[in-house]
Amino acid sequence: MFYFTKQSLRHYWELMRELAVNDFKLKYNSSALGYVWSLLRPLALFLVLYLVFSVFLRIGGGQTNYQFYLLLGIICWTFFADTTLVAMQSIVNKGGLVKKVYVPKMIIVVAASLTSLMTFFLNLAVFFIFVFIFRAPLNWHLIFFPLYILELYIFSLGLSLILSALYVSLRDLAHIWEIILQVLFYVTPIIYPLNIIPEKYHQIIFLNPLAQIIQSMRFASVNQWATTSSFGAYAFLITGLVFILGIYIFRRRSPYFSEKI
């Protein structure tokens, strides 16, 4: 059980911020293009998928602003995948810090997620620059956009806490999670508009909270036609439960990290 004072909370916050900023800088330290590489990856994926599914197969060609629908989905997915993959390995990668310095180990996972969050915000800024350049109409639902960002972050962090706690003992989890991410990419409506799928299957798709969160973010920005559902409350509930479960599992296993790293 941790008891935090105001001074210790400030100290831990500064440490977490320092870890996140340092990891962000180190990520691009030896790169000529720096952050641009993090932008080029989702943009390259977007261009390939847009050409294949909109131009050649014409899956999204009939939808207004399909290019923004696709780009926002890819940006959100890239954040989710990067956060869980990087944060999952953060405890092991910071093994020296875990063994030599006493800090709440959860800070290391949160700092790793904040590094991905910084890249996510930069990518979102580029997305909205494109929106303004091409004069895509925004709607009043945009006021809810920060709420959906928070929901996506908390869901990703909750999963990251679970994965990082398990990864210390099960290193094969990284490969297992990569396979799961590949499956999730296609069962989540990243590429395709939901209206090409029979409506009776929509509720099944929205059992995946990630699908509901990304669709809500689209609906709140430039894609009023993006299908949402009554599962919005369900997504909030699952996000909260995953986060609480993540904290519980992490705290139960964290006392044994030093022995297994």
The domain ranges of the chain are: 6-260
Tens digit of each residue's pLDDT (9 = 90 or more) over 233-249: 888 899 999 999 999 99
3-state secondary structure of 43: helix
Q: Write a three-state SS string for 111-166.
A: HHHHHHHHHHHHHHHHHHHHHHHCCCCCCHHHHHHHHHHHHHHHHHHHHHHHHHHH
| Tokens, residue 184 | 């999730």
Residue 1 has a pLDDT of 45
Residue 17 has a pLDDT of 86
Residue 113 has a pLDDT of 96
Q: Which amino acid is at 27?
A: K
Question: Do 165 and 249 meet the contact criterion of CB atoms below 8 Å apart?
Answer: yes
d(CA 245, CA 255): 17
Tens digit of each residue's pLDDT (9 = 90 or more) over 185-223: 999 999 888 888 888 888 888 889 999 999 999 988 887
Helix axes of 209-219 and 66-88: crossing angle, nearest 10 degrees: 140
Question: Do 92 and 167 meet the contact criterion of CB atoms below 8 Å apart?
Answer: yes
Q: What is the mean pLDDT of residues 56-66?
A: 67
Q: What is the mean pLDDT of residues 71-78?
A: 94
Tens digit of each residue's pLDDT (9 = 90 or more) over 102-151: 778 999 999 999 999 999 998 999 899 888 988 888 888 899 999 999 99
Question: Do 71 and 44 meet the contact criterion of CB atoms below 8 Å apart?
Answer: no
